[in-house]
Amino acid sequence: MTATDAAFLGLDEIDGRHSLPIEKRHCTPFDFLYGGSGVAACATAAEAVTGRPLVWITTQYVGQATSGERLDLDVEILVAARSTSQTIVRAHVGDRLVLHATTAHTDRPVGDEAWWDAMPDVPAPEDCPPFALSFDDPNDQSFFRSLERRAPTDWSEAPNGRLAIWARVPGWGIGTPASQAFIADIVPVAVMSGLGRMSGATSLDNTLRVVHGEPYDGWVLLDVEAQGYRRSIGHGQVRMWRPDGVLLGIGSQSCIVRTNLHTRPPG
């Protein structure tokens, strides 16, 4: 965890316990807690309690929270070995469980690093128009206002469910596990793009594997890929790249696709 993570999120810590006063900026345009905000808060709290960098977090969404509520995060350390820790994080509003996460951490030396894929060849962010969704209101105060996104193509122009989107969070940057978690909650957009309609979607889960978790301030390329859809459940993954080709992390997600809001134009 970095102090910047906690400060950006507004995460409180009292006697080793963490909580997040939920504001509009932590929520979707529909005023429900944005999954990325919840996972980022869990990651930050777990890193603070273990004292070790996070390398993996998987989160299951079991309830909802809205702005004006307080999300309390209870971190239980399951394993505290010589160089590895594992935890469970329960995030709740009062007695109502909202999400729970399982995490893994290590402070092993960095040593060699490698990845076996390559960043897609796309135009630079300054050469791409802003990426917008059909329900994106420039006047709302949701997490959209914290997140800048640019893309070479509109969501409706990617019928194969593969999108490349540049993203950055001014004032925070993207690189730490918490900041990667904040932007990785984007797989539903690729699923809906592949289906040809921009619909409401509810996340069931979110997993982040951190490859390179050092702080970084700049644009990150989200290589988002829809991988499957059946029974109204969509699945996919996202790879996060620095402009110099460094793989930051990999996210995977499943979501429930709901009411049709906007259909891809014909042709």
113 contacts 211 by C-beta, under 8 angstroms:
yes
* Percent over 70 (pLDDT), the chain: 94
Model pLDDT, residue 132: 81
Contact assessment for residue 190 and residue 255, using Cβ atoms and an 8 Å cutoff: no
Residue 242 lies in a domain: yes
Structural domain harbouring 93: 3-108+125-263
Query: Which residues, in sequence order, are CB contacts of 7 under 8 Å at separation 6+?
Result: none
pLDDT digits (tens, 9 = 90+) for 25-34: 999 988 999 9
Q: Which 3-state string (H, E, C) describes 116-168?
A: CCCCCCCCCHHHCCECCCCCCCCCCCCHHHCCEEECCCCHHHCCCCEEEEEEE
- What's the Cα-to-Cα distance from 128 to each of 36, 45, 125, 247, rounded to whole Å? 24, 35, 5, 21
Kindly state the helix (H) or strand (E) to which residue 237 belongs, with its residue range: strand 233-241
Asked if residue 193 is part of any domain, the answer here is: yes
Residues 80-115: pLDDT tens digits? 999 999 999 999 999 999 999 999 999 999 888 899
Residue 26 lies in a domain: yes
Residue 115 included in any domain: no
148 residue type, one letter: E
| CATH number of the domain within which 228 lies | 2.40.160.210
Cα separation of 186 and 209, whole Å? Answer: 15
Confidence tier at 262 by pLDDT (50, 70, 90): very low
In-domain check, residue 117: no
Number of structural domains (the chain) is 1
Q: Is residue 133 part of a domain?
A: yes
Residue 68 lies in a domain: yes
| Mean pLDDT, rounded, for 237-247 | 97
pLDDT in tens, 137-178: 667 789 988 899 999 988 777 778 899 999 999 999 899 999
> Does 119 map to a domain?
no
Would you state the pLDDT for residue 2? 66
pLDDT score for 266:
36
Other beta carbons within 10 Å of 143 = 23
